[in-house]
Structure 1
Amino acid sequence: MQAYLSPDDCNLEEFTQQVTRSLTPQEVPQAHDIQNNIPIYDVTQLDLTGDTRALKAEWAHVFLKSSGVLLLKNAFQDTGCIDAASVIYERIIADEKAAQGAKADHFAASGANDRIWNSAQKLCHYDPKVFAQYFGNLAIDAACEAWLGPNYQMTAQVNLVRPSGAAQSPHRDYHLGFQPREVAARYPAHVHDLSPVLTLQGAVAHVDMPIESGPTKLLPFSQLYRHGYLAFTMPEFRDFFEENFVQVPLKKGDVLFFNPALYHAGGANVSADIQRMANLLQVSSAYGRSLENLDRQSMTLQLYEVLARGDHGLSEPQVDAAISACAEGYSFPTNLDTDPPIGGLAPETPAALCRRALANQMAVQDFNAALTALYRRKQA
């Protein structure tokens, strides 16, 4: 058994054999189309309100053992919340530029590209009702649970690539994908296997993205290569990617999800006038460390105020999805001296408190006090 992986063992021929295959309809029986080895699911044709375990199992198989990427068409059937969020994000970009100047975009040169780090928290603070309608999305919730299970941690970063915006270099993502090769090589081989199941990558299309606008370049099946975290910076692997990547056009309201170990890169925007805006979802397992720190306490209070009013237009499952994207859903870490498990193995979570408060029609002031007390008990 190989305990450690070495850059010396990276083999382009072996990599080529793993990625040179075709996705068959039999592997994705619930998909409505396959383009460039990417299964496409039309959310308008899916029942996401009933038992979704078979669908989630299919998506998990795609991420783990198949093409590694899937496209959810019409994930936002009403794109009004996307338009509202886009207006807010444009304002945030302008405000942050005025205060801080242009921001660097990791993996690509700054300039035509604009970033909003921690766009989830900023959207919630700016307009919690838009946040609720945006993240109260059953398709996004189902994809996150398919790969990460419940209590996932939602983070997001807006990427706006204007005409002439440069492409990214091909890469893998967080965790090991953000480590230098020599550091990644110090982790045991089984950690290379573990890293991809700790996060899920997503991209919400805020505008129509034809190929010339540079939608994400993808190499299906590349997440299967075990040495991939050590190989993606090697010139021969990058050359192979550039010669073999695929892209699919996106419509506003589509959402692309993929295994973080999939070789991918944002494309160059060679269009004349398309402002390519995507909200990049970096979703973490409850058992891992998320990429960004979010003030989930203040976010949860603001979201509760909106949900308690009842004027959000969301169904009960959509409310549950919005809470999942906002509130902390895992009990740990905590201070077991002051926050001991009572009547079970784990203390109540902020997400569970939020759901209980809504069910009991708890007043906002009382919820704020209860949430504050819960977070205080967790402190060392």
Structure 2
Amino acid sequence: MFTPLLRSATYTRWVHLMIGLVFAGVVLLVYPGTEGVSTGRAVAWAVVLDVPLLCLVALVPGVRRGEGVQARLLLAPAREEEIGVAPSAGWVDRGRTACWLVARVGLGVLLGVVTVAAVRVVVRWPLSVLPVAFALLWLVVYAGRLQLALAVRLLGPSGAERLAAAEARAERLLERNRLARELHDSIGHALTVTVVQAGAAREVADPAFRERALEAIETTGRRALDDLERMLVLLREAPDAAATERPGLDRAPELFAAATAAGSPVDARLDVEAAELPGVLSREAYRILQEGVTNALRHAPGAPILVRGRVEAGVLELSCRNPRTGKGSSRRGGGKGLRGVRERAVLLGGECEAGADGAVGTDGADWLLRVRLPLRLGR
């Protein structure tokens, strides 16, 4: 019963309401004045004079910003973003601002009249101070809540602003997911190659093989560090972020050489030039092949990998095939890497197939990843 009366927000909202009364009072003092004017006529004049004036004031774009800042400070919303602080962007915002100003002044006048009446009652009957003050404060509580609801409704972001904010959030999430896929593909591939090379070097006693394995580990690690630095630049949104280069299909031979050095010979034939592809298509194609080769190294170490790429009828078709040796998981359903490949394909307007190419459950069945991407990218 008493908790709302002890909150500071109750009294800051009271001040906010009284500002509306002050505005109406100043207008009334200027014209027609208060001498010989009854309360009823004063209220009527306030309505006749204030409403057109408030509608004119609402035409100024900066008024909406000032009202939003004032409402945030005095009405104390639970979430400040519920009340906007941007200037009016169109006639819809101006109309909502005008409705807000009229409602604010009107509610302030009503509460002001009740406050003055309560003071008169207390002056006339001093013993009634406690019940009158209690009733008045609870009226202030409900009037403040109503004022806050009106502020959220009329000063809050419009439908277009909410849609723009939602699109911005979706864009940020997509960017974060893209960076997560980049890190998974790049660092995951590097770690897989490093683990396979280190395991092979430990098993083989040939010093020359160990030297080649260590060299491959060093090369892969340096490349992973470069990719990691590029990702960090993008995450920091540094000024030179746009200048960072993402690997394209022209880097595919290095990818295949690393896999071959790891013990999985790669038979690759790409009947397509990276320069002939759009930049985004070349980069995403490289990541798709990287994921296919990494999966083969992880789940079928030492097995040969067959990679094919060609352009036919305006479609880039990529495939990565390797035997299911039974040394790794069956990859049913796909992990994060395959899910990332499907997302890349869908975003580019293409399609992705991944699974056993042959009788399911047969030891000799191959695992096949096939992606088809249209060359003509939509907007």
Q: Does TM, scored on the shorter chain, surpass 0.5?
A: no
Length-normalised TM-score, structure 1: 0.18
Higher RCO structure, 1 or 2 (CA under 8 Å, sep 6+): 1
TM-score relative to the length of structure 2: 0.18
More helix by share: 2
